[in-house]
Structure 1
Amino acid sequence: MLVVHGVWAGDGLAFWAEDAAVDPRPAAGAAPRSHPFAASASTLAAALALPEAARDASQGPGEGVRELELLLPGSVKEPLPSPETGRLSAIARPRLHLWRVDALVPPVGEALRLVDEQAAGAATLRHWATVVAFARDLVRRGRVIPRLVTVGDGGTGERPDDGGVGQWAGKWAQPEADARAVWQPVLTGADASYFKELALAMPPACRTWRAERPSGEVLGEALGAFADALVRAALGEPLVRRPGTPQERWLAALTGPDGACPDVPGLRKELDAWRASVVAADGAARVCFRLVEPADAGTDAGAGGGSGEWRVEVALQAADDPSLYVPARRVWAGEPVVGLPRRPERELLAGLGRAVRLYPELDRALRVAEPSELTLGTRGAFEFLRQAAPLLQAAGFGVQLPRWAGRARLGLKLTTRTQRQSAATGQGFGLRELVDFRVDLAVGDETVTEEELAELARLKVPLVRVRGQWVELDERQLAAALKAVEGGRAGQAPAADILREVMQGDDELPLLTVDADGVLGDLLSGQAERRLLPIGTPAGLDATLRPYQERGLAWLSFLSELGLGGVLADDMGLGKTVTTLALLVHERAGSGPTEPTLLVCPMSLVGNWRREAARFAPELRVHVHHGSGRDVGEIDGADLVITTYGTAQRDLEALRGLRWRRVVCDEAQAIKNSSTLQARAVRAIPAGTRLALTGTPVENHLAELWSIMEFANPGLLGSRSRFRTRFQEPIEARQDEQAAQALRRATGPFVLRRLKTDTSIISDLPEKLEVKEWCTLTAEQASLYQAVVDDMLAKIDDSEGIERRGLVLSAMARLKQVCNHPAHLLKDGSLLAGRSGKLSRLEQLAEEIVAEGEKALVFTQYSEFGTMLQPYLAQRLERPVLWLHGGLPSRTRDRLVDRFQHDDEPMLFLLSLKAAGVGLNLTAASHVIHVDRWWNPAVEDQATDRAFRIGQRRNVQVRKLICAGTLEERVDEMIERKKALAERVVGAGEDWLTDLSTGELREVFRLTAEAVS
């Protein structure tokens, strides 16, 4: 298993990896030495599925394969392995040493994609994913401005308030260039505060290239590079094709792939003044441009729809209230407007002076004393739409376009008719069957005739009216349309070819509408689940399916008979397990003994699947292929074979040699990264059909959806690179609505997604009530708490690097233990009664719960504390208190779950959060108590959903115990205030707090008066 890391290498984001399968051997030679278990560049490139161009070290400065020196903790003999590898180390007192690793430094755009795809990996990549999200948000809100930075100073002349975002700017310029045109973030107000929070949360491993650099400096360089790349990707093409003057060369460099350009001191000073004014004004008002259609446009292309005068209206707009829009004519008339600056005419002129640098055509409007609009011809209007508008918008100007802009495009309409009508797959329709098809040109829902297309070609105008709709028509689209007309527009083809055409589409001439009948129509509609006749609960299934589950069963059977795979993406708790088992029972009853189904799941769910199969489908022959004594020979005769992702990877060759009716991946987010070994393994197992089960088909980016779809229906969405070009980049970088619609059309037939919050799906799921229980400390706890704070802050203040990080984590753990109970910290085996405010509140809650004849789940992240609580609570309550932790064998675990679910006696189920946070169905509980917090909302929600799921018939009360006046309260406030940051940066624990300054730690750890009872 590879653990991929990201480190800022001065001029780009570098990726390197630890190979958890390699045994580390002491490195020889003088420092810096080769990292003993770092992966080679070729291994890393293959795992990341990088294109060859991104691996080529000769492609440009700072990009490709490089050998980096990283400052990493460890001993003289070997580095300390990262926690994600799962390795254990005997190094007692790690120190920082330089180690050499092979790394890949891809172009920034490629690096952004890799960060998205690896966002759930190591702590460094989780942090970089958050930085990329921040850069995207800044670009989306227009909080970037163009600049011209000289190469000589590398941006070091930036002001201190710049956050370092300009310091990267000169490092990639070509040697012969004097300067570089860049897009630079503007950080003021809340953005500046968030920047500081991200800097504080940055893991040290993100910034240890050669030396441990300040996090703010590294973050500034990276944020500047990311924002610049994102703007260029959103613009799509250079504004100036054949630059001549220095101004034009700067514009071409600003909007093209390469920012290198000559220095223009006067322009550079103007742009610096622009930035200073933006920071000082903080966006009180901005100049806005509105494109207005010709009043006499006609009705269609043949009626002169390409003629007429277009106008770009100039106005002032309040940045924080876009509805406050004041045309320039009113500004020059001196009309007072509340919400605009005191001298709005000065703001208007200053803004127009800046905008003309980006849109030189605007100079014509500035030749009058009171500019209010710019008149354009049709081609000029088209260039404003395609080039100037995105550029002005990126720089923070307001832009208002007609509603049809970017939407009404020339495309294709596909009509298919089955040669024999069939309403269900059982009547023999298959993907090899021929269907009649016809392809027409269309604008929206309107078909375009060959005569109209010929007229469009004759006019050679990029903006025309077709059937009453304005259409943007560039030369490439027109050429594609003429080619489509010349080719075969009607005939017969296999249904599979039609399906592939719909899925993959065309870049220049997209498929706009599909009109299909019969089974193919049901499939392509994306509404097959609603159109198909539901399949009732099959005989042999010991359960009663709900209506939405009957529709889901019909959908799964429908796809299976067509030989297609699917993604059952129902919300957690809606019964994906029982629906899948119902499919197996239904097929077994219909065709008798068949080839087995292979189900691949996380190891924690093996027992759950075996138990659920025995409960709901007792006639199915189930075999678990897992453990040291596994034998593929025992699979023969089974209906359902359950294995784990790790076992599937290790036994790939044996599993590939068997015949499988179906491969099912449960918790399919485990294969969302298509380049991982386990994702490759499950894709390599041949089967008749495939089924992915997941509640989160897309967690971070669209490449995850491609990976899961590539498992379910290999090749149907095209290659990974084509998917990136066709869908991912237009949607993520440019919010292209047409690409989003095309992706929904392509994936809709194969993804079934229902939410338990949708009352049309399920109306009888009870409510979940979340309550924070505020506890106080006893005097003993308060004294211990303060002693830990005083001791640890003194040590933290005198430490640095990895030593400081370890001390902070240790301090947090010890303070949480104090909040739990003094005996938890002291580990002296002393009595528990009367010494902890949190334990007292837990006792009260537990007594009330069992007195009402109910059951509760009690989660703690500390196994040692659970071991202390179990006998104490059992004695106090005189009721069973079950205790499940990671050290229990599978059979004991299953026995405890079965007892809790089926024993009528009121009881508590005490669970270790790591061992029981996922994969268990514990609906017998109507209460969930989190004794100590993991400080990750997603982890807590997963644990809570052990009780709040289908099968739960009572309201679920969730209580989180928090000690007031302690770090528990202040971290809870931070999470509530910054949920997005917590979910992306917190990751699997508290590492995000380790880089707070000593003063900030003092505030977080501080004990206040309300803490003590």
Structure 2
Amino acid sequence: MSGPGQGTRSGSTGSTASGTRSKSRGSSGRSGRSRDDDAPLIPILARKVREVEAKAQGGKVGPTNRVKFQVIALLMREERAKVKTSTELTDSARAEMLKRLDGIATILAKTAARDTSLITLLEPDASVSSVAQRFRRDWLLEAGTELSPDELIITTEPPKVQQPTVIPAELADKQVVPASVRARQLANPFLAPDFSAVAAQAPAPRRRLDSWELLGPLFKSFEQGAGGVAASMELPPPPLIDRYSPPGHELMVHQARFIESVRAGHRSFLLADEPGLGKTAQSVLAASVANAYPLLVVVPNVVKVNWAREVEMWTPHRRATVIHGDGAQLDAFADVVIVNYEVLDRHLSWLGTLGFRGMVVDEAHFIKNLHSQRSRYVLGLAEAIRRTAPNGDPLLMALTGTPLINDIDDFRAIWQFLGWIDGSKPTAPLMERLEETELTPADPGFYQAARRAVVDMGIVRRKKVDVAADLPSKRIADLPVELDDELGRSIRKAEKELGERLLKKFRTMSASKAAADYTPEQLMRMVASSELEESKSTTTGDNVFTMVRKIGQAKAQLAADYTAQLARSVGKVVFFAKHIDVMDQAEEAFASRGLTTVSIRGDQTADFRQGQIDAFNNDPEVSIAVCSLTAAGVGVNLQAASNVVLAELSWTAAEQTQAIDRVHRIGQEEPVTAWRIIAAHTIDTKIAELIDNKQGLAARALDGSDADLVPSDSIQLEALVHLLEQAIEGAH
């Protein structure tokens, strides 16, 4: 490959690898001839590899040096093959050159060990961008290599990227089509043809930036181009009158501004607000404003029931349906179809043909790995929706408080889902914005302008502290979860059996002569009181206490999953549970995710407990405090966090308040959000309601509130009365 030295050469002093300072003694019989005369490319590669190595020592390698890393590996392999087959070299000269190339290879390996994301670039079949082609050409010319006309011309056309198919061949036999979907297809077997997207297509004009590799610089622009400016597009002011939210609900200012941007016609968003700022409500109302129905929503399992509740709350005129398992209970005629990542693979065949006009991906960092099956399914569905949506312009929203987890490249899958890039290049809308900058990656100011161009495509990021005036200083957000496993079914069965036992007692008491002196409501409370006393004195059988404990155990994994997501998004989180086994299960889940925790329990010494509290408040490596509701509910300061997860419900409103106030206290600079994990369709829902009623009683008695008074009986008693009422209704 290397010809006679005709170009500019790098010297061999100080910056070459593996013995490049010594003179070659066996490569030539002529005196004064350097060993680099036979291999002028090697010192160039040695200098370049040292530059990349220095960058890796400072942290993650940026896009430009990643390309250099790949080109060094390519040229090193080519040079090694040339040296091995050359007939002009003596054995000693060949051994010397191979030794120097081995030195370069060693530095490449050490650099890749520091930044493991570089390893894929060492693969022989790794794709080579036009920027890499230019580096290769320029370095070879610097080494004096004579290149053919084909090698001098750089291929600017990016490789064709095969769009992900909706149904991979390996999943064809796994597909299910629920009965309600077949009914919808029979009711409307054809989607109305829409030729507007086809008519709008025209040959793209040749652009000034077409010859540039742009994805690397675009990603790099988010590392270098900030200039102290937050990554959030300019949003219009809120309307003077809130016309979006239903009666009884009110949008906050930051939410109204987002909805107004949708009303103005924007259709793709990376909504990266911190947790607690109402991303779900904003998305639900955005779909309503854009009339993006039917709407597909892809979510983690832990929040899919909450999504259905939010649709009902914010758009009561719309119906939501949740896909569980094979979709036997699915309502295919609903406006919003909610599916969790884990069952998405079974429903690709019909999801891609239902005619969705919008798609939301919640916790969008779940698709950051382009090679994962989950990402391929989501991207395939998004492409199918773009093909069938009117004007080819569906409403697409990626929701995540943590769009970046490992490095800037995590943007890639999200941008592709939103239609901002197409594999290896920006799509036409983003290219237009980049062209408007009148800059190229070689110009000063490009990175800042490019970052602004991408942000204006639809990145919206607000933090709690930025919108503190919108938020109450403390609020409780309920997160209902579906217990659809075997333990969940056993809990519902136990509740039903307990209700039937109470009903039997009620009927017996009602048939007695003494019943004439009491109303049915009084009889129900007498039955519940009797059951409660029996439950306190027995350790066998199912009762209200054992059921609540089982519910806590069933929720533990889901609560831990959500807490881990919060920790990745906003930093420190306090996790409260009532039972030790729930705390143990959560700590195991956090450890498996590499999250560092502290534990505050009732059996700890005062010094040990204070050490745990100090570690949580002061050590940036500690993400989660796992706390006992009873042991950590008082006398503990955990204000380093502003998010609390209540994995289990307390029997008293005061205990819940005390737990939240470990975070909501003097010195707390951010609004506090307490996330209550509630098992849907179980007694857990009623207990949460009763706790809230007790809070209303305290507000009326102490704070002058007009909250309604409720009976002062214990929450356990009220919960049993609720089960009995359900049993009576079910018997009629």
Question: What TM-score do the two structures reach when normalised by structure 1?
Answer: 0.30
TM-score (norm 2): 0.40
